[in-house]
Structure 1
Amino acid sequence: MIENYNQTIKDVQSIKILPTILDVIVQSTGLGFAVVAKVTSKKWVTCAVKDNLEFGLVPGDELDIKTTFCRDVRRTNTLVVIDHVNEDEKFCNNPIPIQYGFQSYISVPIVLQNGTFFGTLCALDPAPNKLNNSKVIGMFTAYAELISFHLDAIEKLRLKDLEIQKKDFLLESFDFVSSHDLQEPLRKIQMFSSVILEKNCETLNSETIKYLNSIKNESQRMRNILNDLLVFSEFKKSSQEFVPIDLNVIVENVQKRLSKDFSKCNGEIVIGDLPKVPIMPDQIEQLFYILMINAITFKSNNCNLELSITSKIEYGSDLAYEKLDIGTKYCKLVFTDNGIGFDPRYNEKIFGMFNRLDTEKQSHSTGIGLTIARRITENHKGFIIANGELNKGATFTVYLPMTQ
């Protein structure tokens, strides 16, 4: 066997329905041998076989292509069917049936979606058989098309996996570059700007000081963006295990992290009784952090911040969101604030990377946080939706499955 055909054989063997197809062929036609073969101009390779005749062929075995009718099937892209070799004027003196000892035979082409000839679906038997009829030919043709469909799907999946691997490689490359090559120059820009300000504050004019402070602030903002991009890439490839966690514990952790921020804005947070949910703890804590810091960042200047977090558990069929699986039980989390809100037209756009909708407060946001929030919910096979009302506040609703 040529090593190059190993993957082809594995692909055919991975078609779960194929053994059933070969069984049905043998049982419904009375033929004792059925096979899927990879056929090229030079090779005939067994990929899957049902052998009640004890021919002895197993996946990986080869036949001389010149001693098969499959060579003709490949050349003409048409089937070959024989009811009774001895009574068939075209094939009665052909050496191939004599060599393999069969009297009835059928071989149908397997052609991939792009027009490439893959191989054949064949069956034969030492006894004559009625094969040259629409019922048998239709069955073989349908099964050949089904095999072709599965092979195409396998190839598409392989290409998708390669694409994912390339993206993962790019993410890893980005992780390295952003964590050092990009961060270090920004750190030095900040440091040198600070040194200039400290050592020359008395001799610098106000405009120069303003520019230097802007350089420091923009450098810090760029570092924040890079950090958020790192978080996004890490969560995209995260393989953390799901653990049943009381979400009240998650909220307490985030409140501790944001205690100073809430105090500065005189914020009040009201938390309902939250359930225990199977989650990736680090990710869900980050999700809560993003939604809570978002409320702080976009609070109204006209009133103190009020943020509420409530929950309920219901089946998808009882929740008013069309993307939910009706038979799955979800934890519905609702984050509601009285901040500046946003136009409802941006309910979906707000989750796009670098989309910032408020010009006055955009310097406080990297434009990546809500993109990370959506990625986290997707990692949990859940969903997040936003509903905003300009100058009245925003509501973020998160759906997390109760089973993983």
Structure 2
Amino acid sequence: MNELPAGDNEAAAIARDIDAVNRIDAVPSILRLICKNTGMGFAAVARVTEHTWTACAVQDELNFGLAAGGQLDLHTTLCFESRAARAPIVIDNFGKDPVYSGHHTARIYNLGSYISVPIILPDGRYFGNLCAIDPNPAALSDARTLSMFEVFADLIAIQLATEGRNQVTEAALFNERENSSLREQFIAVLGHDLRNPLSAVSATAELLTLRKNEPDLVKIGQRLKTTTSRMARLIDDVMDFARGRLGSGIGVSIDRVDDLASALRVVVAEVREANPERVLADDIAISTPVRCDRTRVQQLLSNLLGNAMTHGAVEFPVVVKARVENGEFTLTVSNGGNAIAADALGKVFEPYWRPPTSKPGGGLGLGLYICKQIVSAHGGTLNVRSSVEDGTVFVARLPIGV
């Protein structure tokens, strides 16, 4: 998302930006909703630089003929002027507009109405525009419509910034291991800074889910809530890792917990809901109080289940078992599928380590490392075994301390 001179470098940067927009799950729904609510036949997220106008995502109900990756001559668009002014341009009727009547953009593209709102990243860089066009006049200048565009433009900007920061983080983690102290301080600052835009996305998602009379908005809100939950967990993992490496360790607040079984079942229910296509069986029988950090033990189970769902074969169930026996709380999570290679078993709890078969976008590889730290902070042990016959089994043992 850098401002680059025209040429091959800019083309490569624009291609990356198109990919970044396409990784935002909510964008297609946003564009459909814009067309539905405004009556406009074409809506797009456009990357706009000093030299180019490029469609990153489109909803084309006009057969306008422009797909993602397609480009227009920048100076034939009003996004050029919106970018220069860093302000929205809204035209209900080109023929009657006191400023844009007879404008060359309307003549070139046969437009009757137009709206374009800047997408400005949180650090102030101009990404592009969220825009919509139609050959017929449309009522676009009311406050509700403009506010909808501005909210969606802000959401896209926040998601793009988050994606960019994650890429920077991964590059720093995997390419600059020599400078570990600086890297880990950077992670801590980054994790802290990500919470502000994430809170804005979460609040907006919550508001959208309350619009019960607008199902499309509710779906977008629910999708955004899922995304923000995943990002919140990722930030928590990053912050836990940074605290552990910077010397303070993963913090635990150990107290008597009388309802640990219920707390674990809550985690199981959340994972079931997020993975309806998978079989998740639980055998949780805890009748004795346990001295532990309730939230951290829930995080331990959540991370172990997330790992099992990601790497276990879909045709095999994931099984959770929890017991208190012989003065120990034992938590076991198992899954079927390919066995972990013997030479990799000793690496699974290392930070950043991921199996060679991991899919892109699966996280930073901190989940199991944090599990190990949580168990260690409780004075316990976490082990793994893996075979074709028995699958992969993680066993955490914590002293009950009561």
* Larger Cα-atom Rg: 1
Task: Output the TM-score relative to the length of structure 1.
Answer: 0.49
Task: Output the TM-score relative to the length of structure 2.
Answer: 0.49
